[in-house]
A and B are shown apart, each in its own frame.
Chain A
Amino acid sequence: MLFQYLEDSARAAPARLAVIDAERNLSYGELDAASNQVARALREQGIGRGDRVGLHLDKSLEAVVGLFGILKAGAAYVPMDPASPEWRVKFIACDCALSAILTTPSWHAALRDVESLRCIILVEARPANTLRPPPGQGGPVTLTWANVRAGSSAPLEPLAESSPEDLAYILYTSGSTGQPKGVMLSHRAAHAFVDWAASIARVRAADRVSSHAPFHFDLSVFDLFATAKCAATLVLIPASLSVFPRELADFIADRHISIWYSVPSALTQLVARGELTRHAFPNLRTVLFAGEVFPLKYLRQLVLTLPRPRYLNLYGPTETNVSTFHVVTPADLARSAPLPIGQVCCGDEVFVVRDDGGLAGDGEEGELCVAGPTLMSGYWGMEERTRQVLGPIPGHPLAYRTGDRVIRERGGNLCFLGRRDDLVKVRGHRIELSAVEEVLLRHPDVEESAALTLPDELTGNELRAFVVLRDNASTSPHDLRQHCANYLPRYMIPARIDACDALPKTTTGKKDRVRLQEHARQRV
Chain B
Amino acid sequence: MNQTVASYTEEQVARIIRDHIDQEFLFRSKDSGLADDDSLIARGVIDSMGIFRLVNFLEQRFEIAVSPPDIVMENFRSLQAIRAFTVNRLRGRDGQESD
- A507 contacts B by Cβ under 8 Å: no
Chain A's interface size range is: 20 to 34
- Interface SS of chain A: helix, strand, loop or mixed? helix
A243 touches B68 (CB 8 A): no
A246 engages B71 (CB within 8 Å): yes
| B69 beta carbon closer than 8 Å to chain A | yes
A246 touches B27 (CB 8 A): no
State whether the Cβ of A485 lies closer than 8 Å to any Cβ in chain B: yes
Pair A482/B72 contact, Cβ less than 8 Å: no
Q: Which of B46, B50, B71 touches A273 (beta carbons < 8 Å)?
A: B71
Contacts of B29 in A (CB 8 A): 85, 482, 485-486
Q: Is B68 a contact of A274 with CB atoms below 8 Å?
A: yes
**Contact of B51 with A by CB under 8 A:** yes
- Report the separation of the CA atoms of residues A484 and B48 in the bound assembly, to the nearest whole angstrom: 20
Pairwise interchain contact B68-A490, C-beta atoms closer than 8 A: no
For the complex, what is the distance from the CA of A478 to the CA of B21, rounded to whole Å? 12
Residue in A85, A242, A244, A493 whose beta carbon sits within 8 Å of that of B72 in the complex:
A244
A266 beta carbon closer than 8 Å to chain B:
yes
**With known contacts A269-B48, A478-B27, A243–B69 Cβ distance under 8 A:** no
B72 touches A460 (CB 8 A): no
Given the known interface contacts A243-B41, A245-B68, A482-B28, the answer about A495 and B53 at a Cβ–Cβ threshold of 8 Å is yes
Docked pose: A244 CA to B50 CA in angstroms: 11
Q: Which residues of B contact A482 (CB under 8 A)?
A: 27-29
With a cutoff of 8 Å between Cβ atoms, the chain A residues found around residue B51 in the complex are 243-244
Query: Are B68 and A275 interface neighbours, CB within 8 A?
Result: yes
Please name all residues of chain B whose beta carbon is closer than 8 Å to the beta carbon of A266 when the two chains form the complex: 48
Please give the distance in Å from A87's CB to the nearest CB on chain B. 11
Q: Which of B49, B51, B53 has the most CB of A within 10 A?
A: B49
Residues of chain B from 28 to 51 with CB closer than 8 A to chain A in the complex = 28-29, 41-42, 44, 46-51
- Contact mask for chain A residues 449-490; partner B; CB cutoff 8 A; 1 contact, 0 none: 000000000011010000000000000001001101110001
A242 touches B47 (CB 8 A): yes
Which chain B residues in 47-94 approach chain A with CB under 8 Å? Answer: 47-53, 68-69, 71-73, 76
Is A83 positioned at the interface, with any CB of B under 8 Å from its CB? yes
Contact with B along A245-259 (1 / 0, CB 8 A): 111000000000000
Residues of A within 8 A of B49 (CB): 427, 459-460, 462, 495
Across the interface, do B27 and A245 meet the contact criterion of CB distance under 8 Å?
A: no
Whether a CB of chain A sits under 8 angstroms from the CB of B7 is: no
A137 at the interface (CB under 8 A from B): no
Contact B71 A240 (CB under 8 A): no
Interchain nearest-CB distance for B85 vs A (Å): 13
Distance between B43 CB and nearest chain A CB, rounded to angstroms? 9
- Note all chain A residues with C-beta closer than 8 A to B47: 242-243, 490
Bin the interface of chain B by size: 20 to 34
Cα–Cα distance between A354 and B78 once the two chains are bound (Å): 53
Instruction: Judge whether B23 is part of the interface by a CB distance below 8 angstroms.
Output: yes
Bound-state Cα–Cα, A243 to B73, Å: 8
- B52 to chain A: closest CB distance in Å? 6
Residues of A within 8 A of B44 (CB): 83, 490
Contacts of B52 in A (CB 8 A): 459
Contacts A459-B49, A459-B52, A490-B47 given; indicate if A244 touches B71 (C-beta within 8 A).
yes
Q: In the assembled complex, which residues on chain A have CB atoms less than 8 Å from the CB atom of B27?
A: 478, 481-482, 484-485, 493
List chain A residues, Cβ under 8 A from B53. Answer: 495
Give Cα A361 to B52, complex, Å. Answer: 44
Complex Cα–Cα for A58 and B51 (A): 20
User: Which B residues are CB-close (under 8 A) to A481?
Assistant: 27
- Look across to chain A and name the residue whose beta carbon is closest to the beta carbon of B68: A273
Within the assembled complex, what's the spacing in Å between the Cα atoms of A490 and B48? Answer: 12
Chain A proximity of B56: nearest CB distance (Å): 9
For the complex, give the distance between the alpha carbons of A246 and B71 in Å: 7
Distance between Cα atoms of A478 and B69 in the complex (Å): 32
Residue of B nearest to A484 (CB): B27
A86 to chain B: closest CB distance in Å?
8
Which residue among B27, B47, B69 has the maximum number of chain A CB atoms within 10 Å of its CB? B27
CA distance A246 to B41 in the complex (A): 15
Option from A83, A246, A460 in Cβ contact (under 8 Å) with B69: A246
**Whole-angstrom CA separation of A247 from B68 in the bound complex:** 10
Which residues of the other chain, B, contact A427 by a CB distance below 8 angstroms? 48-49
Q: B residues bordering A, Cβ < 8 Å? A: 23, 27-29, 41-42, 44, 46-53, 68-69, 71-73, 76
Question: Can you pick out 5 interface pairs between chain A and chain B where the beta carbons lie within 8 Å of each other?
Answer: A243-B51, A244-B51, A245-B68, A246-B69, A481-B27
Known interface pairs A243-B73, A478-B23; 5 further A-B residue pairs with C-beta atoms within 8 A, sorted by A's residue number: A85-B28, A246-B69, A246-B71, A275-B69, A493-B27
A interface list, Cβ under 8 A from B: 83, 85, 240, 242-247, 265-266, 269, 273-275, 427, 459-460, 462, 478, 481-482, 484-486, 490, 493, 495
- Closest 5 pairs (CB-CB, A-B): A481-B27, A485-B28, A240-B41, A482-B27, A273-B68
